[in-house]
Structure 1
Amino acid sequence: MSLGMPLSAMAQSADGAPNFGSQEGVYMGFGAGANWNLGGLNSSGGGLTSGTGFTLGGAIGYDFIGFRPQIEVGYSWLPTNVNIPGTALTNKVGQLTTLAALYYDFMPKSVITPYVGAGAGVGFVDSNTPLGATVFAYSAAVGVGYNINPMFRIQLEGRYLGTTAVSVNVPGVGNVSGPNQNIGVGAGVLIKFAAAPAAPPPPPPAVQATTFMVFFDWDRSNLSQQALQTIKQAADAYKTKGSARITATGHTDTSGPEAYNMALSLRRANAVKDALVRNGVPAQAISVIGMGEKGLLVPTGDGVREPQNRRVEIVIN
């Protein structure tokens, strides 16, 4: 008459690493501990007392990340003060229980997870019959789990287990019956069989930009023959990409007033846009930017006429 301690048995850590409670899945639990009887068999003229016994148990369940229904089986053994040959009272009493239970994990995605649970089922307690006394069994548990990783949890648990009254026919004494209440503490491990989280998909390959350069004469925004050929190449490259965007960014050298150069860079960029449109590029696919003297290709001082700086950069993404 003792506590059967089947394990109830584990959650995402604070640093984001996955652990036992990070995904649903089937689990199994195993554990062992010590147990004590709170209410023994009593009769007029005698009684039964017991010491510290042991308990072993196992469980199988499904973790819904919070609620955990499970089936648990436990066996416990207690030493007693009575040895009557021909009866179940031979300085020991054994008990087997099978329970359907429901547990609830608080903070199921934390590393440390407190939990509570309750169950009900059937118990078989040593008596004069071959299978022992068949009784109704019920339990309540409270514990705390430590989630090591997505597969393993270790836990400590305290449990109360009771049954309906157990009777034993003792020669010379008669029918002895009484309550069967037990408490116990134990430790165990849960093992989850959920599939590992799928690896994140690889990042999409970086889209490589294609760049073309169109150069201009000093203080001019008209397009040379060579510039027109370059623009046609850019338009053809755009068409091969299917869906793309074009940015035309105008620049000037450092000669002339800054405000004038800003306007000149815009005229150059718009001239390139118009030529791209004539070559079949949709106008809505082209963005125009004027940079003026900013973004020099060849760094120079103020007032320098540098041909490499008088340009429009065509970038296709």
Structure 2
Amino acid sequence: MIKPIMAAAAALVALPIAAQAQEINAYPGFYVGAGGGAAIPLSSSNGGGIVGYTIGGTVGYDFVGPRVSLDVGYGQLPLNFNLPGTALTGKAGQLTTLINLSYDFFPTSTITPYIGAGAGLAFIDSNTSLGSTQFAWDALVGVKYNISNSMTFNIEARYVGTTSPSVNWNGQTYSGQNQNLLAMAGVTFKFGAPVVAPPPPPPPAAAPSYMVFFDWDRSNLSQQALNTIKQAAGAFKTKGNARITATGHTDTSGPEAYNMALSLRRANTVKDALVREGVPATAIAVIGRGEAGLLVQTGDGVREPQNRRVEIVIQ
């Protein structure tokens, strides 16, 4: 008379990886996980509809796509027979240790399907303890939901089989096939998440500025210059509490001392026009820089229109 010894087993292979705008879990690293679920025997001698349980843990390394893991699990299944005086009293237990190689599809997405397979050892109830050692193998398919860069929730279906265990009872040897289908859920945590640097602060807003240009050796204002000054005065009024700096410049024609005085006259001319537009004189500072700070670099003695200017900066 031959009867099977059924046991459930296995550990779950969890794992991470995925991405999102800046990709979730898209980095290699070690991970650990734990989970459990139902164990369903596929060997007919155990009777249809019998459901046991399985719990387990995993530790592995994720290469972002391929993964390798050590899965350790323990499971129990009810039996439709008893062998008094043995460990097989209406149920069978099995401890498995499996090395699995898995592959994650779309490893940088939030939802990541995966497959895997592996082999190892199973320790199955024999007489009074988990004493029967068998070769074990498994195949699995699952899907992961990446909760964060480090944590993953997964559901998985796994087939676990072993070589046929046997037990001696009352001078007879009982043996049979041992194949189980596991339906499991679990979580995993991956170490070494890369540190994401905070975004740099936004650059300070540039102070509004306006340019007023002058004819050669002149400090009077053209109509276009007056229009520009009017715009600058309007901008000052919208800012409320602000200050204006009017900086005068010249080109390189003429003596340096003369140009320094000319640049200051130009700056004061702009200040007077701003005051006429309603800007308080106390809010305006004037600076003369002469030939320094050329807008267009030239040699000495060059009449360059772009260099004959006053820069109005509102702060």
Shorter chain as normaliser: what TM range? 0.5 to 0.7
Query: What CA distance in whole angstroms lies between the structure 2 residues aligned with 1:72 and 1:314?
Result: 73
User: Residue 242 of structure 2 corresponds to which residue in structure 1?
Assistant: none
Secondary structure, aligned partner of 1:87: coil
Q: In 2 relative to 1, CA 132–214 (structure 1 residues): closer, same or farther, beyond 3 Å?
A: same
Residue identity in the other structure for 1:53: G
Residue identity in the other structure for 2:196: A
Alignment gaps of 5+ in structure 2: 1-5, 223-249, 265-287
Equivalent in 286, 306, 309 of residue 312 of structure 1: 309
Instruction: After superposition, give the CA deviation of every residue in 1:96-121 in whole Å (9 maximum; x if it has no partner).
Output: 00111111110011011000011111
Equivalent in 3, 8, 11 of residue 3 of structure 1: 8
Equivalent in 197, 200, 223 of residue 199 of structure 1: 197
Equivalent in 173, 176, 195 of residue 175 of structure 1: 173
Query: What CA distance in whole angstroms lies between the structure 2 residues aligned with 1:186 and 1:131?
Result: 23
| Pairwise CA distance, 1:94 | 0.3
Query: What CA distance in whole angstroms lies between the structure 2 residues aligned with 1:313 and 1:99?
Result: 80
Contact residue 53 and residue 79 of structure 1 kept, 8 A? yes
Contact residue 87 and residue 129 of structure 2 kept, 8 A? no
| Pairwise CA distance, 1:38 | 1.3
Contact residue 136 and residue 162 of structure 2 kept, 8 A? yes
User: Residue 245 of structure 2 corresponds to which residue in structure 1?
Assistant: none
Contact residue 150 and residue 193 of structure 2 kept, 8 A? no
User: Residue 31 of structure 1 corresponds to which residue in structure 2?
Assistant: 35
Residue identity in the other structure for 1:11: I
User: Residue 190 of structure 1 corresponds to which residue in structure 2?
Assistant: 188
Query: What CA distance in whole angstroms lies between the structure 2 residues aligned with 1:122 and 1:133?
Result: 10
Alignment of 1:158-169 (within 5 A): 158-169=157-168
TM-score of the two chains, using structure 1 as the length reference: 0.66
Alignment of 1:53-72 (within 5 A): 53-72=52-71
Residue identity in the other structure for 1:31: G
Secondary structure, aligned partner of 1:108: coil
Query: What CA distance in whole angstroms lies between the structure 2 residues aligned with 1:83 and 1:129?
Result: 13
Q: In 2 relative to 1, CA 7–247 (structure 1 residues): closer, same or farther, beyond 3 Å?
A: farther
Query: What CA distance in whole angstroms lies between the structure 2 residues aligned with 1:139 and 1:128?
Result: 25
Secondary structure, aligned partner of 2:176: strand
Q: In 2 relative to 1, CA 289–55 (structure 1 residues): closer, same or farther, beyond 3 Å?
A: farther
Tell me how large the CA RMSD over aligned residues is. 3.5
Q: In 2 relative to 1, CA 69–233 (structure 1 residues): closer, same or farther, beyond 3 Å?
A: farther
Instruction: After superposition, give the CA deviation of every residue in 1:234-278 in whole Å (9 maximum; x if it has no partner).
Output: 35xxxxxxxxxx643xxxxxxxxxxxxxxxxxxxxxxxx33xx45
Instruction: After superposition, give the CA deviation of every residue in 1:192-211 in whole Å (9 maximum; x if it has no partner).
Output: 22234331463596697999
How many residues are paired up? Answer: 244
User: Residue 154 of structure 2 corresponds to which residue in structure 1?
Assistant: 155
Q: In 2 relative to 1, CA 125–233 (structure 1 residues): closer, same or farther, beyond 3 Å?
A: farther
Q: In 2 relative to 1, CA 207–132 (structure 1 residues): closer, same or farther, beyond 3 Å?
A: same
Relative to structure 2, which stretch is displaced further, 194-203 or 128-137? 194-203
Alignment of 1:96-135 (within 5 A): 96-128=95-127, 130-135=129-134
Identity over the aligned pairs, expressed in percent? Answer: 43
Alignment of 1:10-89 (within 5 A): 10-14=16-20, 16=21, 18-19=23-24, 21-39=25-43, 48-49=46-47, 51-89=50-88
Query: What CA distance in whole angstroms lies between the structure 2 residues aligned with 1:75 and 1:35?
Result: 10
Contact residue 157 and residue 186 of structure 1 kept, 8 A? yes
